[in-house]
Amino acid sequence: MQANYHTHTVRCHHAEGTEREYIEQAIARKLETLGFSDHSPQVFDGGYVSGKRMLPEQLEEYVATLQSLREEYAGRIEILIGLEAEYYPKYFGRLMDLIRPYHLDYLLLGQHYLGNEEEGLPPCPRPTEDEGRLERYVRQVTEGMETGAFSCVVHPDILNYTGDRKINRKWYEKLCVRAKELGIPLEMNMLGFATNRNYPNSDFFRIVCDVGNKVVLGCDAHAPSRVADPSEIERCMAFLKACGIQETSNRMKLVPPTR
Ligand SMILES: [Zn+2]
Ligand SMILES: [Zn+2]
C-alpha cells in the first residue's frame, strides 16, 4: 500500500487517536501518502445537529492542524487534507460554500443516509428488502458523482439490500457503469471487511469486476492501528481476487472540490 486517503480524526465523535499517531503509523507501515478525510461538517436547517461529524466551527482548526503537520512531516510522508462528505441534495451548495475557502485536496463520497439525513430515514447499512431504497441510494450517489466534486466513492455497496439478487445487480450495475463513465474509482472498504459489516459485499464486487471499475483499497481508519495493517491488506486482496478483481492501485486522481 502506497497511499491511503480514508482516515478519520476524533472530531467525528467515533474515532480515536491523535493525527500524529495516524501519521507515525503510516510512516512505520511505509505509506508515501496519508490523506485525512474526516466526516464533513454540515449545517442543517431547523437546528438538527449530526452526532457523527465535526461541527462546522471545527473545520478551520481541522485544516490548520493538518497543514502544520503537513509542513512538519514534509519529506517523510505526504499529508493530504480532505473530507468524507455525503451528497445531500438540499444542502450540497451549502457544503461547498463552507469548504471553498480551505482549498481541500479532495472529497470522498460516503453516503450513509438517504435524503438529507435530518429526515431520519434508516441509515444505509440497515437491511432492507425494499427495492425503492436501493433505487434511491443509487440515484442519490449517481447525482453526487455527477457534481464532479468527488474523487472516489467509498463503501459504494453500503446500501444493504437483502432482496432478489437480480434486482440488486440491476441497480448496483447502474452505479458502477456511471462511475466508470465518470472515471471515479470505487473503494473496497477495509474497515467494513475487518469488522464484518454488510460491506464490502462479494456480489457487488463481482459486478465491479464485470463492469471494469478502478478499485481502491481504503482503510477507513477510525484508530491509528487501522492504517495500512498488512494482514488486513492481504485478506482484502484475497477477497477481491475471489470476486475476479486482479488489479487494485492505491493511487487515485484527486479532484479539487471547487465548483
Ligand atoms: Zn466514521
Ligand atoms: Zn469513513
The structural domains of the chain, ordered by start, are 3-242 (3.20.20.140)
Confidence category of residue 259, pLDDT binned at 50, 70, 90: low
- Please state the rounded mean pLDDT for residues 152-163: 98
228 Cα: distance to centroid of ligand 2 (angstroms): 14
pLDDT reported for residue 212:
97
107 Cα: distance to centroid of ligand 1 (angstroms): 14
What ligand has the least distance to the C-alpha of 12?
Answer: 1
39, three cell numbers = 466526516
Instruction: Quote the percentage of the chain above a pLDDT of 70.
Output: 100
Q: What is the overall mean pLDDT for the chain?
A: 97
pLDDT digits (tens, 9 = 90+) for 196-238: 999 999 999 999 999 999 999 999 999 999 999 999 999 999 9
pLDDT reported for residue 249:
81
pLDDT surpasses 80 at 258: no
| CB 98, CB 62: distance < 8 Å | no
pLDDT surpasses 70 at 56: yes
What ligand has the least distance to the C-alpha of 221?
Answer: 2
Does residue 182 sit in helix, strand or coil? helix
Closest C-alpha to 134, from 157, 155, 107, 103: 157
22 Cα: distance to centroid of ligand 2 (angstroms): 14
What ligand has the least distance to the C-alpha of 155?
Answer: 2
Q: Across 6-146, where does the E strand assignment appear?
A: 33-39, 78-85, 106-109
Tell me how far apart the alpha carbons of residues 37 and 133 are, in angstroms, rounded to a whole number.
Answer: 26
The sign one gets for the Cα dihedral 74, 102, 60, 29 is negative
pLDDT digits (tens, 9 = 90+) for 24-51: 999 999 999 999 999 999 999 999 999 9
Confidence category of residue 247, pLDDT binned at 50, 70, 90: confident
Does residue 252 sit in helix, strand or coil? coil
What is the DSSP-derived secondary structure letter of residue 135? H
Contacts of 5 (CB under 8 A, 6+ apart): 33, 35, 37, 80, 82, 106, 108, 151, 152, 216, 218, 252, 254
- Please state the rounded mean pLDDT for residues 178-200: 97
Does residue 248 sit in helix, strand or coil? coil
What ligand has the least distance to the C-alpha of 15?
Answer: 1
Residues with CB under 5 A from ligand 2 (ion): 84, 220
- CA gyration radius, the chain: 17
Tell me how far apart the alpha carbons of residues 58 and 144 are, in angstroms, rounded to a whole number.
Answer: 24
pLDDT digits (tens, 9 = 90+) for 97-133: 999 999 999 999 999 999 999 999 999 999 999 999 9
